[in-house]
Structure 1
């Protein structure tokens, strides 16, 4: 599962690279590790505002839900959503009115099991420029947005090269397909093909410090590469 992402890009870089503006410019701060388990905000582009970066609570909630975010997540963790759940009747999506969005990030994380220990790797584009993850979202009665990252099976590409605990990969939406994604022009087969995007050689990855796994530890150099004996320093 993908419970942490990164967005280290400045507002100006995001706006220039992706051709969008921020709805609330002062809310954006570069963040090396956004931890979804801590009810954090994450930048999204929605169907209603395809040229605007808004902010959503990571961990999707039903539209009419009025309880605590943490309570719902304990019952039904919605930080990630399997792609097939969006077109089936699997709870919690039966009767749940959600729409598509793009989640703005500069990287995500995968783990590698080696000799009985887990090692975190940071996956990013060569210049750490921003890109889109496919997501879905709801608008609560009070106007807040909540979102979930879409995931699916990816048997090839950079994620499964490193992540040897399973074949789950995030759905990456190329910039050239952003409008089609938001306008619901993709069918199920199209969405499944998008999972192949992170199989392209644009992405690279390297190992980072194991402190990444500690929930309440975050420091400026956390995304710096760390050398571990016998582990590859990088993948591409």
Structure 2
């Protein structure tokens, strides 16, 4: 699962990296910590408009929830969609065919558990560059979108980081980003991408402040990415 992301780069850096223009010029706001449960905006490149960047509410809203998105979010957690079930899920099975997107980020957080205590780990490319999650989106109204991040079973690295649920977000290798948006991509091709298109770039992960899990604390700052030393984690040895 992936319920927390970062996007610290400038609008110009994002537009250059994804060769897309921000649809609404004044809508771009970088962030150190986006808690998915606040349903704030992520930035996506939608399949229908691959040369545009648009803000999208984090928390996918399917057609049957569009009459009242707030009520839908109170009942359902759609921050993530499992790659194994997107074709059979009543929530996602229509969007997986023609509403795929790239979700822009430069980091995210995963929980690591030791003795029933959860520690947030900040995960990002070793060179701290931008990347794209594979995602799905829906259009609630004109220029109003929602989205979800696709997750998959953890690989050899993330099985140690996210050591309870053992999952990871699907970070697309840059080589496969355009393929994810192809309109003529059929089910076998989509399944193959979800299985094998995970990034080959080096990902660094380290613990940060547990204040990310507390209410009433401003975590949209460098606190969310600053490495923190925990003796109890040192005792178990390095994860990597």
TM-score, normalization by structure 1: 0.88
Distance 1:210 1:217 in 2: 11
Distance 1:94 1:52 in 2: 24
Alpha-carbon RMSD: 2.3
2:47·2:98 contact (CA, 8 Å) conserved in 1? no
Q: What aligned pairs does 1:53-64 form with structure 2 within 5 A after superposition?
A: 53-63=53-63
2:20 maps to: 20
Distance 2:13 2:202 in 1: 19
2:170 maps to: 171
1:229 maps to: 231
1:99·1:137 contact (CA, 8 Å) conserved in 2? yes
Distance 1:75 1:112 in 2: 26
**Which is further off, 225-234 or 134-143?**
225-234
2:44·2:53 contact (CA, 8 Å) conserved in 1? yes
Residues 145 and 225 (structure 1), Cα distance of their counterparts in 2 relative to 1, 3 Å cut = same
Q: Deviations over 1:159-187 (max 9, x none)?
A: 22211112211111122211110005333
Distance 1:66 1:190 in 2: 29
2:103 maps to: 103
Q: Deviations over 1:23-70 (max 9, x none)?
A: 123211110111111120110000111122111111111236444323
Distance 2:172 2:30 in 1: 21
Distance 1:93 1:44 in 2: 17
Residues 114 and 178 (structure 1), Cα distance of their counterparts in 2 relative to 1, 3 Å cut = same
TM-score, normalization by structure 2: 0.87
Distance 1:146 1:190 in 2: 22
Give the secondary structure class of the aligned counterpart of 1:161. helix
How many pairs were matched up? 231
2:122·2:206 contact (CA, 8 Å) conserved in 1? yes
**Shift of the alpha carbon at 1:135?**
0.3
* Selected match of 2:196 from 168, 193, 196: 193
Residues 94 and 203 (structure 1), Cα distance of their counterparts in 2 relative to 1, 3 Å cut = closer
**Which is further off, 35-44 or 13-22?**
13-22
Distance 1:165 1:3 in 2: 15
Q: What aligned pairs does 1:155-170 form with structure 2 within 5 A after superposition?
A: 155-157=155-157, 159-170=158-169
**Shift of the alpha carbon at 1:98?**
5.6
Distance 2:151 2:92 in 1: 15
